[in-house]
Amino acid sequence: MNELVSLDAAELARRIHAREVSSVEVTRAHLERIEAVDGPAESGVHAFLHLDAEGALAAAEAADRAVAGGAPASPLAGVPIALKDNLTTTDMPTTAASRILEGWRPPYDATVVARLRAAGLVPLGKTNLDEFAMGSSTENSAFGPSRNPWDLTRIPGGSGGGSSSAVAAGESPLALGSDTGGSIRQPGAVTGTVGVKPTYGTVSRYGLIAFSSSLDQIGPCARSVLDAALLHEVIGGQDRNDQTSVSAPLPPVVEAAQAGARGDLAGVRIGVVTEFSGEGYQPGVLGAFTDAVRTLGELGAEVVEVSCPSFGYALPAYYLIAPSEASSNLARFDAMRYGLRVGDDGEHAADEVMSLTREAGFGAEVKRRIMIGTHALSAGSYDALYGKAQKARTLIVRDFTAAFATCDVLISPTTPTTAFAIGERADDPLAMYLADLCTIPSNLAGNAALSVPCGLSADDGLPVGLQIMAPALADDRAYRVAAAYEVARGPGAGPRIPELRALEATR
């Protein structure tokens, strides 16, 4: 394994900008790593749905020229990155891991993609996800699951399991994800990587294929807290193309990560959410979490317990609101202007073509959610289901407001278990939904939240994630606490690139 693929983005950028190594060399090393471990689709990591080696090397050459000219475009210029395949790219297909969009070439770049390009980052390719980001394992991808580099028989989390496994396997130092109910944080937790859901509205959603518009948020995936912060500042900030984009300045997340790394949390009040423990939580996850709580105390933080009684409504409210918004958002896949069209034989009318296309193009989970959303929004059920879910959202916002009145940040395990086996929950949607239990409240309330690796579970030796939640527009607090914890935890229990010897040997 080439040493370059084990380095953090910040260190890669330092070496590239000091001309100790070129962006082309760094990019080649990652493309070779992908070649070695990503395939075959049936047994490799399978993080990528599409690779663009030629485009990546051209972007790397451009970054090298800018460095040679003394003007790298940004602190991350020349560093490779992987993009979740629900972000539009003009030079690569964008499928959302759905047959209905197989091979689709979008006519515009997502704002975050345009910003990456302008900042001189090097897009390597598009990563796998649960179809339309609906799932917690990537098993709902129409193109087969990704695999967890720690154990290839296990899930890499979802929906952003392609991005998390790419970063965990050393295929890319950075990736972008989207988090509607935990799709950045839960994959980060189960692969031992960092995943951040920024405050709703602080990273533009323009060009993100919409799943649930009031919850969707793009954010960074990385192997260190500082790397995530550096990427956060490249993609964040107001965008006129997204009407929900907020005008407030982006919180100073890089500065906060650097301040946190000095390892002093004196004066910081941290609330442990009472409701996120007990039954359903794996002992090894709770053990690693308890150790993390102790470490935070040793860093000088005051740790208290906080009850958020309405968080129990988060899961049911989410599985009404997200499907409702999805049923509306996915109505655009009507076989008329782009994507798949089935049954256009002169015999079938437009509505029949629409139904045949959606039947052929969508997978089971997408159909389930569209129908549940259609039900929740129908005249007879609206008040009892969708209306009540919106009331639940109010109660959850109130719980956060009360908790943040006494605490600077809240913490919990990111997800109740470590990575489960591929296939274990595939036929039981309700069991799958439990993976998002701890992450959903922050989507419903719109506040910032991240997952940072907090060691390995004593049960099975697999990574555990510590979730840190901060108030809206106070993302910097979560970064500060995460960076301090990361230093105290030390590299031993942090993200490491699993060796994947078996895969490499078979190539």
Partner 1 sequence: MSDITRDDVAHLARLARLAVSDAELDMFSGQIDAIVDTVSRVGEIPDDVPPTAQVVPQTNVLRPDTTEPSLRRDVALAEAPAAEEGRFRVPRILGEEL
Which residues sit at the interface with partner 1, rule CB under 8 A? 104-108, 200-201, 214, 240, 243-244, 246, 313, 315-317, 319-320, 327, 334-341, 344, 346, 348-356, 358-359, 362, 364, 367-368, 370-372, 374-375, 378, 384-385, 387-395, 397, 429-430, 444-446, 472
CB of 316 to partner 1, least distance (A): 4
CB of 355 to partner 1, least distance (A): 4
2 versus 244: smaller Cβ distance to partner 1: 244
CB of 242 to partner 1, least distance (A): 9
Q: What are the angstrom distances between the C-alpha of 50 and each of 38, 82, 84, 96, 137?
A: 11, 10, 10, 12, 19
CB of 279 to partner 1, least distance (A): 16
Q: Nearest CA to 441 among 313, 304, 321? A: 313
Q: Give the DSSP H/E element, type plus range, for residue 108.
A: none
85 versus 227: smaller Cβ distance to partner 1: 85
Q: Assess contact for 112 and 207: CB atoms under 8 A.
A: yes
Phi/psi for 485 (5° steps) reads: -60, -45
Q: Assess contact for 92 and 126: CB atoms under 8 A.
A: yes
Q: Which tokens sit at 35? A: 């070649």
368 versus 496: smaller Cβ distance to partner 1: 368
User: Burial, 41: exposed, middle or buried (Cβ in 10 Å; 0-12, 13-18, 19+)?
Assistant: middle
Report the Cα 312 to chain-centroid distance in Å. 23
The number of CA neighbours under 13 Å toward the Cβ of 196 is 36
CB of 180 to partner 1, least distance (A): 13
CB of 230 to partner 1, least distance (A): 25
172 versus 327: smaller Cβ distance to partner 1: 327
CB of 120 to partner 1, least distance (A): 26
Helix orientation angle between 388-406 and 314-329, rounded to the nearest 10 degrees:
130
474 contacts: CB under 8 Å, gap ≥ 6: 199, 251, 447, 448
- To which residue do tokens 């442990």 refer? 272
Q: How far apart are CA 333 and CA 97, in angstroms?
A: 14
348 versus 496: smaller Cβ distance to partner 1: 348
Q: How far apart are CA 29 and CA 3, in angstroms?
A: 9
94 versus 191: smaller Cβ distance to partner 1: 94
- To which residue do tokens 């607090």 refer? 477
- First and final C-alpha spacing in the chain: 13
Which residues carry out catalysis? 84, 159, 183
Q: In 10 A of CB 55, how many CB atoms? A: 16
Widest Cα–Cα separation across the chain: 73
Q: Which tokens sit at 265? A: 């949390």
CB of 3 to partner 1, least distance (A): 42
159 versus 193: smaller Cβ distance to partner 1: 159
CB of 90 to partner 1, least distance (A): 10
Task: Give the DSSP per-residue string, 164-203.
Answer: HHHHHTTS-SEEEEE-SSSTTHHHHHHHT-EEEEPPTTSB
Q: In whole angstroms, how large is the CA radius of gyration of the chain? A: 21
289 versus 313: smaller Cβ distance to partner 1: 313
38 versus 476: smaller Cβ distance to partner 1: 476
DSSP strands (E only) in 192-279: 194-197, 218-222, 269-273
DSSP strands (E only) in 85-184: 122-127, 174-178
CB of 420 to partner 1, least distance (A): 19
Q: In this structure, are strands 122-127 and 80-84 parallel, antiparallel, or unpaired? A: parallel
Establish whether the linkage from the previous residue to 40 is cis, with ω within 30° of 0: yes
266 versus 430: smaller Cβ distance to partner 1: 430
Write down the H helix ranges in 416-474.
429-433, 440-445
